[in-house]
Homo-oligomer: A and B are copies of this chain.
Amino acid sequence: MADELTTALAAGLPEGALLTDPDVTDAYARDMAGFSAAGAPAVVVLPRTVEEVQHVMRTATALRVPVVPQGARTGLSGGANAVDGCIVLSLTRMDRILEIDPVERIAVVEPGVVNAVLSRAVAEKGLYYPPDPSSWEQCTIGGNIGTGAGGLCCVKYGVTAEYVLGLDVVLADGRLLRTGRRTAKGVAGYDLTRLFVGSEGTLGVVVEAVVALKPAPPQQLAMAAEFGSAAAACDAICRIMESGHVPSLLELMDRTTIRAVNAMARMGLPETTEALLLAAFDTPDPAADLAAVGELCTAAGATDVVPAQDAAESEMLLQARRMALPALEKVSTATMIDDVCVPRGRLGDMLEGVALIAEKHELTIGVCAHAGDGNTHPVVCFDALDPEESARARASFDEIMALGLDLGGTITGEHGVGLLKKDWLARELGPVGTELQRGVKAVFDPLGLLNPGKVF
């Protein structure tokens, strides 16, 4: 079987595009999700053209071999993990920016373009591609589309889905589908473009994307506000949003996270505070907006409000926030990162509930959050070498999702379902939703070859 597969694939691929050495292919087995099982790929294919992707899918369909599409494998839900005997289809070599058009405010890209590469290329033309997941220096646009990635920008600019106008997709049987449009608007037929965003490679393989761009906003200016309790910080967030402010960033770090960041990078963040709120504006007069938001923070009980004086100070605050995950990863030997999004008004309940779960399971759980969106990332720190502690970590991770659903939230704001949360997806969707989603999957992938076992 493996020989037949290798021979058939090689017949339509150039030299170097097909990897079969298990020592090499094993390196493609998993993304960055803890706790998620990963199988051994039969082969890894690194195509450079649409035709090569079509050849892979035709071969996979003919031989009934599962295919796992991959970007940079920075995902946090196991959505890119291999299954035994699969073809790993890594799109990282399809990394050309085909077009950047300032009049249409679009870019046309191959899926393997790295987020930061696109962001910098459009910035040179005075444009802005907002989605900025924390892995933006490594992750690919194709991967961002697969997972529906978000980032710090979302409170003002939304998630990846809002920037995908049209897609070229190779289907399970190798046919090419073009969805969507290059125009600013369009409502011709069902919105298949959005169906592919967040579908984690289970419906087709994205080989080209038309993404929307914004004009580059003014440089953002940030501030930090310290609070004596998470509840007070959450109150401030509600006041800010209720008052009609549109911050370009509104982030929360709890005491555990602050300490972890200080321990890693000596940032000098205030360790006596229970919750640190970071806000930023990229408006024409950010200092005035920050002053207004600072007053709301004070009214909500902030113990200190420190606006950045310039872009450099702003950038330092953002760096501290961007360090949250790496810093928490150093607390123990392993972490699991939740991604529960709740209504903003329930953020206080969410943080309080997470603290109780941490206490109950005697674990360190640091929380950083895209607070303006209600999107929390409780990070469960545990010793992966201790089976009993690992079990408690897994239980905590699940209890956090249950809490999120109880508060009217979702199990995933921006990381996707993958393997890690697939048991939870059915609970969120309910039986009718699950049945219809499976029906949709069957339309696109009747043989079930595309990323099997993910999402559902």
* Interface residues of A, Cβ cutoff 8 Å to B: 101-105, 126-127, 147-148, 150, 154-155, 159, 161-162, 171, 175-179, 181-192, 194-195, 197-199, 203, 215-216, 238, 241-242, 244-246, 283-285, 341-345, 370, 372-375, 408-417, 421, 425, 428-430, 432-433, 436-437, 439-444, 455
Contacts and interface: CB of A to CB of B under 8 A. Distances in A.
A123 B415 CA distance: 34
A271 B20 CA distance: 72
A63 to B, nearest CB: 22
A191 B194 contact: yes
8 contacts: A103-B344, A103-B345, A105-B241, A177-B433, A183-B375, A183-B410, A190-B441, A195-B440
A21 B275 CA distance: 66
A195 B187 contact: no
Contact of A104 (B148, B191, B194, B345): B345
Contact of A185 (B182, B189, B414, B429): B414
Given A177-B433, A178-B433, A433-B179, A184 B198 contact: no
Given A241-B103, A436-B177, A440-B190, A343 B182 contact: yes
B183 A341 contact: yes
Nearest to A433: B177
A170 to B, nearest CB: 11
A156 to B, nearest CB: 11
Contact of A147 (B148, B187, B455): B187
Contacts of A455: 189-190
B410 A181 contact: yes
B375 A185 contact: yes
B126 A215 contact: no
Contacts of A428: 188-189
Contacts of A178: 430, 432-433
Copies in the complex: 2
Contacts of A373: 183-185
A377 to B, nearest CB: 12
A384 B162 CA distance: 42
Contacts of A190: 195, 198-199, 203, 437, 440-441, 455
A272 to B, nearest CB: 29
A188 B411 contact: yes
Given A177-B432, A185-B370, 12 more contacts: A127-B244, A148-B187, A150-B185, A178-B432, A182-B343, A184-B413, A185-B374, A187-B413, A191-B198, A192-B433, A192-B437, A194-B195
B176 A343 contact: no
Contacts of A432: 171, 175-178
Contacts of A197: 191
Contact of A410 (B176, B186, B215, B285): B186
| Centre residue among A148, A187, A198, A439 by max chain B CB count within 10 A | A187
A189 B433 contact: yes
Contacts of A216: 244
Nearest to A193: B194
| Centre residue among A103, A414, A432 by max chain B CB count within 10 A | A103
Nearest to A160: B187
A440 B195 CA distance: 11
A126 B171 CA distance: 46
A391 to B, nearest CB: 25
Given A104-B343, A428-B188, A413 B241 contact: no
A185 B159 contact: yes
Nearest to A431: B175
Nearest to A288: B284
Contacts of A238: 103
Contact of A154 (B101, B185, B188, B198): B185
Contacts of A284: 283-285
Given A191-B195, A241-B105, A344-B104, A183 B409 contact: yes
Nearest to A238: B103
Contacts of A179: 433
A183 B198 CA distance: 16
